[in-house]
Amino acid sequence: MQMGVSFCRGMLLWARDGFRLATSPVYKERASICAQCHLWQSKARLGLGKCGHTACGCTKAKLKVASQACPLGKWAALQPSGSVSARPLPTP
């Protein structure tokens, strides 16, 4: 249920953002961060992988959506200007 709500919120946010996609370098950076995260489950969803955070559960497809952000603040949403949001990153 939580995942469905999260998905619907994400789609609504993406529509409001004009369905912008992250650039290839941003996607690769996000994927690299997720690959090193303890919550990333690389073999889930038929090998597509998924985030194990209860507020997320998304596959790599989320990484392509510009308006999306990591629930732990490890990577941020892109602002319309192309810059990243001012969302603070967690301390290591």
- Contact set with ligand SF4 (CB under 6 A): 33-34, 37, 39-40, 51, 53, 56, 70-72, 74
Cβ proximity to ligand SF4, 26 vs 37, nearer residue? 37
What is the nearest approach in angstroms of ligand SF4 to the Cβ of residue 18?
22
For residue 26, give Cα distances in angstroms to 47, 60, 82, 85.
21, 13, 10, 13
| Residue 17 or 71 with smaller CB distance to ligand SF4 | 71
Q: How far is the CB of 24 from ligand SF4 (least distance, A)?
A: 18
Distance between CA atoms of residues 23 and 83, nearest Å = 11
Pick 56 or 78: Cβ nearer ligand SF4 = 56
- The gap between the terminal CA atoms of the chain, to the nearest Å, is 31
DSSP helix/strand/coil, 86: coil
